[in-house]
Structure 1
């Protein structure tokens, strides 16, 4: 009886919540303008606000003229002041948290999360679940056990500011009604070594009634493989009531076939787009592509056409003038004190009513050694189309240019770890090259003009990508290996695992 009451209360909450979201879905452009002006007003007495004369900025155009696009290096002097205990620097008072992330040029990054910003992180995750429950008209999963994979919830103190990984911070804000059902245990969550942690999670969960599992695809695959190895059963045999998988961080599509193989049968999948800088979007219809952009969650969005990104004076578009099916660098202004901040993600709109996006790549992850500027969305879609025609299961892949081959023309080298190779790797390779030529006209020109030869596939041994991640100290958690590079730093490591 208690379980019946619990799931029906969840269903009522969900339907009421989804009904209440119609306003922001229909009024996104107006809401965004009002939000920016509100953020400027709130922060006009901060050091950043005084530096850029926020009190004089009355329109979006004023803001774009006065406040330049920034990255972490640009904001780092302000962050350092906050780290030393100074107040009213980027946002009013001091942040409630610093989300600590790993950076390439900056070392560790400390992303501020204000007391106003943190609730939106939790609200977005709840909204994603509520939309799923409403669409499914079913909340059975609330009565089972759930994994919300997190980094260590142990936080350090930095001049009174709690500091740690975002997932560890979020662990302190999971609603009480989910706490009793949540796994893994605190003791397991505190384990630092990733492989040891996954082994402990397997032992904790293998006999439980798991109904919801959340994590990035590489972690899910590693977790599922260990469960199958220990128990000799597919995941849906082991967890017959598993209803929902929540994932984010990378495009799920390249992992879908491998995931379905491990599961034994399809399980509902909900894709999300969270980051330390904010929770931007989620799949409000789990049966369709596209993530609903959260335009009323304390974040003002701008979009720079990808071909203009990094050039002097690029256009900074807002929602009212974006175009569908074009790639844009995502720029954020947040209620935690990030101002015209380039997060490094590339998005593509697939609808305007409401605004839905796909995450199509990273501004720093591309292959353009020959001027082709191939992005993640193109390679993932090409690979997906090829796998559908020449069935294969792929664990992970990486694309790198080979500029100076021992003989012949240069080429794109695809390092692929197959779970199951296609019957003809040569046919697979030829089709993949054709699909790439369809999606990138510059690449097609290079092949036609005999500047490049068709792509080469280097098939790798099992666990090659895990071994690479381990060698870099980035195994597990929210760490992701770039799918594309403009050099061979990753490729030269992976070549050692060639079959």
Structure 2
């Protein structure tokens, strides 16, 4: 114990030294971001993308925004695919050997986001160390390194056609972590990288139930499933009985609000909760104040930020502004340029600034309708594709619909709840639901993963609406007219609950 205590003291001392560097970019944000931009352009000027867009002639933000277009994944996919097939110097110097598999788009079941060695070290790993540094600075009496961190990551596979690996970002990181991190984490790397979820869950529980866990890291929905299984296996009343030294949960990926009370109950005591804003494309924000619901925008990770005001967002004419022009309270679509070779990439998230000195943000949504209560990232194009197939096969037709999550409660899995107004109803609504669910799995790999064995998501709950329900609802809201649209997807139950009451 004395050795572990000394180790904890020494590590905490060194990681708190990073706080000075964080405070430096907080006080000089625009200079920091300008340095990131010019550095990225210099490094990539001899890549294919750099030559096409004249990186070597760009010396200012104005040149940058004029010479390089804002792109979506669909726009950029041909360049990513070249890199994924093993061609060097396409979007970033040298070879890119790792790709994070993310949820799909209109044209693909999955996206493959490039992960360069620079982004792995200077963005993702650096952010992990910063998270611990910030926490240690805010809580000087912490005991993080006296106990284990329970991490919950994904699986990793070798892409068979090319000499590249792809998998969940968490799995790529686990596979490449330095040895000293392994000493302080559980489960083991071998178990963490298992692919089959049910077997993996059993193996994780077998390892972690005998550890002294002091912190958790993961997505709230998946972590809740694990903790419920741990209690069922051990017979403990709450997690604190098993892990009395648990002090913090580092969470991200989805909103924590629906889960906060559930975590208080299952853990059995108050602990600290720290939110992070990370994605396959990069690590963007860390909650830097205890008890806050906003995150510090991290400016020295090799990511250059731009923002598109949502009030003027036009997919056919995307115009962004730099960090220095953002305003508090407005919603912005985020555009990133990264040290993995993503150039003016529209990530799809929207953020709202809560502070400009320093720059702090909240995630406010997506640029399109979505449901992402469990990490499934269900987009409207996924739903419309699946509905088209379901209607075709069951000889039915839908005029209006909306969907929302049913949040986990009392140990039960979550679900999606839908209300469809049919102009021609299917003969068997259960059969329609089965086809709809199956095609959602086929077009969205994240939804498919969450539906596996009903662990996180149960089968969709589907209601048939009475005739003219949506018209009456829109009328009550004063939203009749060609410019008003029924919200197809929502990440809360603001729309579906009133509709279900009206449908009784």
DSSP 3-state at the match of 2:83: helix
Q: Which residue of 2 aligns with 1:81?
A: 82
Do structure 1's residue 474 and structure 2's residue 477 form an aligned pair? no
Q: 2:335 touches 2:346 (CA, 8 Å); kept in 1?
A: yes
**Is 2:307 the counterpart of 1:307?**
no
The answer as to whether partners of 1:153 and 1:171 remain within 8 angstroms in 2 is no
SS at 1:310's partner residue?
A: coil
Is the alpha carbon distance of 1:335 and 1:259 closer, same or farther for their aligned partners in structure 2, counting shifts above 3 Å?
A: same
Cα distance between partner residues in 1 of 2:172 and 2:128: 14
Distance 1:486 1:157, change over 3 A: same
Aligned partners of 1:10, 1:283: CA distance in 2, in Å? 21
Contact 1:397 1:416 in 2 (8 A): no
Report the TM-score when normalising by structure 2: 0.74
1:160 & 1:217 partners in 2: Cα distance? 33
Shift of 1:250: 1.2
Q: 1:169 aligns with which of 168, 172, 182?
A: 172
Task: Tell me what 2:69 maps to.
Answer: 68
Q: Which moved more, 1:189-198 or 1:76-85?
A: 189-198
Q: Does 1:416 align with 2:406?
A: yes
Write the distance in 1 (CA, Å) between the matches of 2:210 and 2:45.
Answer: 55
**CA deviation after TM superposition for structure 1 residue 280, in Å:** 0.9
Shift, 1:227, TM fit: 2.0
1:472, distance to aligned residue in structure 2 (A): 4.6
| Matched-pair contact (CA < 8 Å) for 2:103–2:377 | no
What is the match of residue 385 of structure 1? none
Matched, 1:276 2:280: yes
Kept in 1: contact 2:25–2:299 (CA 8 A): yes
Distance 1:334 1:80 in 2: 17
The aligned residue for residue 14 of structure 1 is 15
- Following superposition, the deviation at residue 397 of structure 1 comes to 13
1:335 aligns with 2:339: yes
Aligned positions of 1:260-409 closer than 5 A: 260-365=264-369
Map of 1:56 onto structure 2: 57
Matched, 1:200 2:203: yes
Q: Is the 8 A contact 1:399 1:415 kept in 2?
A: no
- Aligned-pair CA distance for 1:480: 9.3
From the superposition, tell whether residues 158 and 169 of structure 1 become closer, same or farther in structure 2 (CA, over 3 Å): farther
Match of 1:439 in 2: none
Alpha-carbon distance between aligned partners in 1 of 2:211 and 2:112, rounded to the nearest angstrom: 37
Q: Distance in 1 between matches of 2:236 and 2:217?
A: 22
Which whole-Å CA distance do the structure 2 matches of 1:118 and 1:311 have between them?
Answer: 30
Report the CA distance between 1:177 and its aligned residue: 2.4
Most deviating of 195-204 and 315-324: 195-204
1:399–1:412 Cα contact (<8 Å) kept: no
CA distance in 2, matches of 1:17, 1:239: 29
CA distance in 1, matches of 2:167, 2:3: 36
Q: Give the SS at the match of 2:75.
A: helix
Q: Relative to structure 1, is the Cα distance of residues 83 and 16 closer, same or farther in structure 2, using a 3 angstrom cutoff?
A: closer
Q: How does 1:150-299 map to 2 (within 5 A)?
A: 150-156=153-159, 159-230=162-233, 231-299=235-303
SS at match of 1:117: helix
Whole-angstrom distance in 2 between the partners of 1:259 and 1:67: 45
The alignment of Structure 1 onto Structure 2 pairs a total of residues equal to 414
Match of 2:111 in 1: 109
Query: What is the DSSP-based 3-state SS (H/G/I as helix, E as strand, rest coil) of the residue aligned with 2:25?
Result: helix
Please state whether the residue corresponding to 2:191 is helix, strand or coil: helix
Alpha-carbon distance between aligned partners in 1 of 2:379 and 2:102, rounded to the nearest angstrom: 25
* 90, 105, 124: which one aligns with 2:127: 124
- For 1:415 and 1:127, locate their aligned partners in 2 and report how far apart those are by CA, in whole Å: 33
The correspondence of residues 444-459 of structure 1 with structure 2, limited to 5 A, is none
> Residue 308 of structure 2 aligns to a residue in which SS?
strand
The change in CA–CA distance for 1:158 and 1:338 in structure 2 (over 3 A counts) is farther
Q: TM-score, normalised by structure 1?
A: 0.75
> 1:419 & 1:74 partners in 2: Cα distance?
40
Give me the whole-angstrom Cα distance separating, in 1, the residues matched to 2:379 and 2:56: 48
Q: Secondary structure at the match of 1:298?
A: coil
Q: Contact between 1:398 and 1:415, CA under 8 Å: does it hold in 2?
A: no
CA contact (8 A) 1:210 1:242 kept: yes
Q: Are the equivalent residues in 2 in contact too, given 1:216–1:247 (CA < 8 A)?
A: yes
1:432 paired residue number = none
CA displacement, residues 227-285 of structure 1 (integer Å, 9 cap, x when unaligned): 22231411112110001111100121221111111111111111111111111111111
Instruction: Quote the offset at 1:154 in angstroms.
Output: 5.0
SS at the partner of 2:17?
helix
The answer to whether the 8 Å contact 1:11/1:138 transfers is: no
Aligned equivalents of 2:64 and 2:447: distance in 1?
40
Q: Would the aligned equivalents of 2:84 and 2:97 in 1 still touch at CA under 8 Å?
A: no
Retained in 1: the 8 A contact 2:370–2:489? Answer: no
Give ranges in structure 2 of 5+ residues lacking alignment: 384-399, 411-436, 461-485
Secondary structure, aligned partner of 1:163: strand
> How many Å separate the matches in 2 of 1:145 and 1:418?
27
